[in-house]
Amino acid sequence: MSRRGPLLLILFAALMAGAGNGISMVAFPWLVLQHTGSALDASVVAMAGTLPLLAATLIAGAAVDFLGRRRVSMISDALSALSVATVPVLALLFGAQAVNVAVLAGLAALGAFFDPAGMTARETMLPEAAQRAGWTLDHANSFYEAAFNLAYIVGPGIGGLLIATLGGINTMWVTAGAFMLSIVAIAVLRLEGAGTPDPSARDGGVWAGIVEGLRFVWRHRVLRTLAFVDLAATGLYMPMESVLFPKYFTDRDEPAQLGWVLMALSIGGLVGALGYAVLSRFTRRRTVMMTAVLTLGVAMTIIAFLPPLPLILVLCAVVGFVYGPIAPIYNYVMQTQAPPHLRGRVVGVMGSLAYAAGPLGLVVAGPLADSAGLHATFLALSLPMLVLGVATVFLRPLRELDHGPHAEQNS
C-alpha cells in the first residue's frame, strides 16, 4: 500500500458514510412530513436521531480504544446500513403504512446509536495516516472534514432528487449502499494503531474507561471550553437543518430546494475546510473560531426573515465557509492533547457533549414552529447564537488554542 493509501481510504470511507447520513437527513424528515405535515412529528424523529448520540458517542470512544479502530468502524457502518435498509424492507413486507412516525423514530434512533462509533474510529486513525503520508495534522484534518462536507453535498442533493423520482422509502436503499462502500474501504486498510489494541488498555472495563475520558476532558481547560461552546452552538444550529428548513420546504412542496439549501451549507463547508489547510499557516485558530460563531449568528438572524431562495443559498454557503475550519481545529486539539491510548475516549466525550444540547433544541424548535411560526423560531435560535459569538471573544482558555501539542493546560 502506498504512503498515502491509508489516508485516502479513510477519506473515502468518511465520504461514503457521510453521504449515507446526508441522504438520511433529507429522507427521514421528508417521510414524516409527507405522512403528517407536522413539524412536531418531524422534531420527534429528528430528536430520535440525536438523543442516542450522547450515550452512544461516550460508549463509542471506549469501544474504539478497547476493540480497535478498524474493527469498530466496519461494525458501526454495517449496523447503520441495516437500520436504514429496514425502511424499504418493512414497506415491501407490510406496505408503506407500516413505515409510520414511531417506526421512523425507532430506526433513526438505531442509526444514531451506531454512527458515532464509525466516525470516532476514523478520526482517531488520522494522526498515524497523516504521518505515513507525510502530511501535517492540520492538512489531514482539513481534507478529512472536506470529505465529510463533500458527503453532505452529494448526500442531500442526491437525496432530494431521489425522493422526487423514486420516493422517500426507496431512497433508503442508496443510503445502505453508501455505508457498505465505507465498510469495503476500511476492510482493505492496513495502518499501525488501527488493529486490536494492547490488552492493558482495557483495564477497568468500559465504564472506567469512559470515566477516565470524562476526567481528562474536564481537567483540560481548553478541551472543556471547546466542549461547552460546541454544545451551545450545536443546540442552536441543529434545529435549523433538521426541522426548520425541512418544514419550510415541505410546506412549499419543494424537496429539491431543500436539497439545494443543504448542499449550499456543505459546499461552503467544503471550501472552508479545504481552505483551512492553507489558512492555518497564516491565521490563529482562536481568530478563526470567533469569526465563525459570530458570522453564524448574523447569518441565522437574516435567514429568520425567510428571504428569497437565492439569498438563503448565499447565506448558507457563507455559514458553511466560515464554519468549515472549526471541525479541523477541534480534531487537532483532541488528537494532539490526548495520549494515544485515550484518543478514542476523548473524541467520544467531546462528541457526546456537543450532541447533548441537540435534543433540547429540537424539543423547543418543533412545537415553537407549529405555534409561533418559522420566523419567530429562527429568531429564537439566532439571537442566542449572536450572544455566544460575542462571548467567545472573552473566553481566556481559547487564547491557548494556538499553543503547541501536549501543552500543559490543566486547571
For 65-83, the pLDDT digits (tens) are: 778 888 888 988 998 898 8
Instruction: Look up residue 339 and give its amino acid.
Output: P
Torsions phi, psi for 135 (to 5 deg):
-100, 155
pLDDT tens for each residue of 132-141: 888 888 888 8
Cβ atoms within 10 Å of 410's Cβ, excluding its own: 12
C-alpha cell, 44: 420527534
Predicted pLDDT of residue 93: 78
3-state helix, strand and coil shares in percent for the chain, rounded to the nearest 5: 85, 0, 15
pLDDT tens for each residue of 282-291: 788 888 888 8
pLDDT at 49 over 80: no
Regarding predicted confidence, which is higher, 129 or 354?
Answer: 129
Q: Locate the domains of the chain by residue range.
A: 4-188, 206-400
* CB-based contacts of 33, cutoff 8 Å, min separation 6: 39, 41, 42, 246, 247, 250
Predicted pLDDT of residue 179: 92
Regarding predicted confidence, which is higher, 405 or 23?
Answer: 23
Predicted pLDDT of residue 381: 86
Pairwise CA distance, residues 9 & 224, whole Å: 31
Look over the chain and give the mean of its residue pLDDT values, rounded to a whole number: 80
> CB–CB of 48/199 below 8 Å?
no
Pairwise CA distance, residues 146 & 231, whole Å: 22
Pairwise CA distance, residues 225 & 285, whole Å: 14
Four-way CATH pick for 4-188: 3.40.50.11780, 3.30.365.10, 1.20.1250.20, 1.10.645.10: 1.20.1250.20
Predicted pLDDT of residue 410: 45
CATH of domain 206-400: 1.20.1250.20
Report CA 89 to chain centroid distance, whole Å.
27
Buried b (16+ CB within 10 A) or exposed e, 139-172: bbbbbbbbbbbbbbbbbbbbbbebbeeebbbbbb
Predicted pLDDT of residue 411: 44
Q: Using 50, 70 and 90 to split pLDDT, how confident is the model at 201?
A: low
**220 beta partners:** 410
pTM above 0.75, yes or no: no
Predicted pLDDT of residue 269: 78
Percent of the chain clearing pLDDT 90 (strictly above): 6
Confirm whether 4-188 and 206-400 share one CATH topology: yes
Pairwise CA distance, residues 241 & 378, whole Å: 11
Torsions phi, psi for 65 (to 5 deg):
-70, -30
Q: Using 50, 70 and 90 to split pLDDT, how confident is the model at 251?
A: confident
